[in-house]
Chains A and B, each alone.
Chain A
Amino acid sequence: MNTLSASWHWLTDPAHWSGDDGIRSRLLQHLVLTVVCLAVSCVIALPVALVLGHLGKGGALAVNISNVGRAVPTFAVLVLLLLTPVGKWGEGPTVVALVLFAVPPLLTNAYVGMREVDRSIVRAARGMGMTGRQMLLRVELPLALPLVMTGVRIAAVQLVATATIAALAGGGGLGRIITAGFNLASTPQVVAGAILVAGFALIVEAVFEIAERLAPHWPRGSR
C-alpha cells in the first residue's frame, strides 16, 4: 500500500503535470500518436480489405498477415527501424512500427466481415441489378460494419499499447514516464506511469464499447 500512496502523491503533484516531459504533454503525445497512426492504418488497410472481401480473393493473405504480425515482436521492429535511416526522422520509427502493427487486425477483420455477409443477400442485390460498386458500398459494407469496427477497436487498443513500448526505443508518449521511472529507480513514478497508461487503454476500449452501443442497431439486428 505504501507504493500505491507514493504513486498517488506522484500523480497528484502539480509539478509532474506541466512542462515538456510532464504528464499533460505525454498524454497529448500518446493521443496524437494513436490517432494519427490509426488514421493512417485505416486509410491503408480498409480499402484493400474491403475490395479483397468484395472480390472474395486474397483471404489466405489477409488471415496470414495477421498471424505473422503476432509472431514479430513490436519491440524488435521498433529497434530495427531505429537503427535504419528511418531512425533519423524523430518519431518516424514509432509511426512506421505502429502502422505496421495496426494494419493486420484491420485487414483481417474487415476481410472476414465482408466474407461473412450472407451470400443470398449479395445475390439478391445482384439480381436487383446493382453494380459491383453499389453492392460493395450499399449492401456488403453496412452489413460488415460491426466486424470492421471490431477491427478498428482492436487496432486502437493495440496502438495505445504499442505506443507505450515506443518509449523503450526513445519515442515519446506515456511509456516515457515508466522508462524514466525505471532509470531513476523510482517505483512510485513507474507505477504512476503504468496507472496512466492502463487507464488510457481502458478509456479507449470503453469509448469504442459505448460507441458500439449507441450506433444504429440495424447492422447487428440483421445478423
Chain B
Amino acid sequence: MTAPPHDCLARNDWICGAYLSTRRQILLDAVVQHLRLTALSVLIGLAIALPLAVLARRWGWAAGPVLALTTILYTIPSLAMFSLLLPLYGLSATLVVAGLVLYSLTLLVRNILAGLRAVPEETRQAARGLGYGPIRLLLTVELPLALPAAMAGLRIATVSAVSLVTVGAIVGFGGLGNLIYAGMNTYFKAQVLTASALCVLIAVAADLLLLGVQRLITPWTRAGRARAPARRRRSRTGLRGARAGRA
C-alpha cells in the first residue's frame, strides 16, 4: 500500500494492507476456528452417513425413510436449524457443529448410497464366487468402487459447510462469519471484504485438496476408460451440485 500509515483504515477502504498487518492474529484465529468447525462437522457427518448408507443399501426398505429424513433436515434453513438446536446445546460451538452435521448428512448419504448402488452386480457376484464374505465384499470391493461418488458428495458437503459456518456468527461461533458480522455493524469495509475473500479461498482450497485426495485413492478411474465415467460424473455433479448451493 502506498497510502500513508493508517490512512486506508481511516478512509475505510475496501482493500487495506494496514488492516491485514494489524489484525493478523484476529484473522488467523478466525480462520482456525472456521477450519475446525468445518472439519469437525464434515468428519462427524461422514462417520454417521457411512453406516446409514451401508444399512440403506443392505436393507432396501430402510433407504426410503433414511433419504426422506435427511432431505427434510436439509430443507430447514440454516438460521432456523441453529435456533431449533439452541435449547439442546445452548450458545456453543457444538450447536454450530451439530447443525452442520445434519446438513452434510443429506449430501453424504445420497452420494455414498448412489455409489454403492452403482457397483455392478457381476462384480459382486465375481467377488462372491471368489469366496468373499459380506464384510470383505463391502470393505474391499463395494466401498472402493463407491469412492468416486462418495468423494463427490464429500467435496460438496465440505464446500457448503465452509460457507454455512459463517451463519454461526449469530451464536458467536462463526469463524470468519464473526468478523463479517462485526464488520457489518461497524461498517468496517476492509474487514468484511477480507473475511469474505478468505471464506471463498478456504472453500476453493478445501475442494482442490479433496480432489487431489480423490485422484490419489482412486487411480483406476483415470485409467483407459476415462471417457464414459467422466461424462456420467459431470451430469451427476451438475444435478447434485445444484441441489447443494444453499444458505
Complex interface: chain A residues within 8 A of B159 (CB): 67, 70-71
CB contact under 8 A between A73 and B184, given known A187-B87, A195-B84: no
Report B's interface with A, CB cutoff 8 A: 72, 75-84, 86-87, 156, 159-160, 162-164, 166-167, 169-171, 177, 180-181, 183-184, 187, 189, 192-193, 195-196, 199-200, 203-204, 207, 234-235, 237-239, 241-247
Q: Are B77 and A73 in contact (CB under 8 A)?
A: no
Chain B residues whose C-beta falls within 8 Å of the C-beta of A182 in the assembled complex = 83, 170-171
Q: Which of A20-28, A128-136, A157-165, A213-221 contacts B (4 or more CB under 8 A)?
A: A157-165
A109 to B207 alpha-carbon distance, docked (Å)? 22
Chain B residue contacts of A71, Cβ below 8 A: 159, 162-163, 200, 203-204, 207
Q: Which 8 A-B pairs have the closest CB atoms?
A: A161-B77, A194-B83, A76-B196, A73-B163, A71-B203, A105-B242, A162-B247, A197-B80
Complex interface: chain B residues within 8 A of A11 (CB): none
Q: A141 at interface (Cβ–Cβ under 8 A)?
A: no
> Does A169 lie at the interface of the complex (its beta carbon under 8 Å from any beta carbon of B)?
yes
Q: Does A104 contact B (CB under 8 A)?
A: yes
| Residues 141 to 193 of chain A near chain B (Cβ within 8 Å) | 147, 150-151, 154, 157-158, 160-162, 164-165, 167-169, 175, 178-179, 181-182, 187, 190-191, 193
Q: Which residue of B lies closest to A190 (CB)?
A: B83
A interface majority secondary structure: helix
Q: Please state if A70 and B79 are interface contacts (CB–CB under 8 Å).
A: no
- Distance in Å: Cβ of A69 to nearest Cβ of chain B: 4
Q: Are B241 and A83 in contact (CB under 8 A)?
A: no
The answer to the question of A202 belonging to the interface, with a C-beta cut-off of 8 Å to chain B, is: yes
